[in-house]
Amino acid sequence: MIEATLCFPLREWTPDERTGDDRERTDEVLLIEKRRGLGEGWYNGPGGKLENGETPRECAVRETREEVGLAVRNLEKAGELTFTLDGDRHTFCHVYRTRSFDGEPTPSDEARPEWVPIDEVPYDRMWEDDRLWLPAVLEGDTVAGEFRFEGGEPLDEADFADHDLERDVSFEDRS
């Protein structure tokens, strides 16, 4: 089974009063448009597979740096997701969020970063399961879920079948 991570950097957006912008204060999340590999063309958070000897947190920090050049800190565990394919466990994904980071998001060969207001997340251009668990993560809740896909490899061409999801879970292992 593949072990992977996703990281969702958050920042507060406030209107600049000098421009007369009357939109409400909101949170924005840093998403990427994936340019190659699994989920190419779709939006997701920065993230990827664990390398040998790496902890999930280290992986999320490394992948965010590699994909969008942002140095994230103080990651908060927000979710654990299991993706099955035709009944077998395919990927286990650790989800993090953080409001601490240095640098400016910069595009790479792998990803094009974009700050998006949390109520404008483009769920129709994401993995089908994202709409089920990401809103809770962006609202500050924690989630644990299993999402079942059918139809064979690759995972991003399989059909989403069904799921179980729990909110307000606690993660004991600090991973």
Ligand X SMILES: CNc1ncnc2c1ncn2[C@@H]1O[C@H](COP(=O)(O)OP(=O)(O)OP(=O)(O)O)[C@@H](O)[C@H]1O
The least CB distance from residue 23 to ligand X, in Å, is 29
The candidate with the shortest Cα–Cα distance to 77, out of 10, 151, 6, 163, is 6
The least CB distance from residue 138 to ligand X, in Å, is 14
DSSP state of 26: E
Minimum CB distance to ligand X smaller for 83 or for 101: 83
Minimum CB distance to ligand X smaller for 10 or for 81: 81
Looking from the CA of 33 toward its CB, the CA atoms found within 13 Å total 9
Q: Which residues in this chain contact ligand X in the complex, by CB under 6 A?
A: 4, 6, 37-39, 44, 47-49, 83, 91, 93, 127, 129-130, 147, 155
In terms of residues, how long is the chain?
175
Instruction: Map tokens 């993230």 to a residue.
Output: 47
> CA distances (Å), 168 to each of 70, 77, 140, 165, 171, in order?
28, 12, 10, 10, 10
Minimum CB distance to ligand X smaller for 37 or for 117: 37
Q: β-pairing, 111-117 with 143-150?
A: unpaired
Residue nearest to ligand X (CB): 37
The least CB distance from residue 158 to ligand X, in Å, is 8
Minimum CB distance to ligand X smaller for 13 or for 156: 156
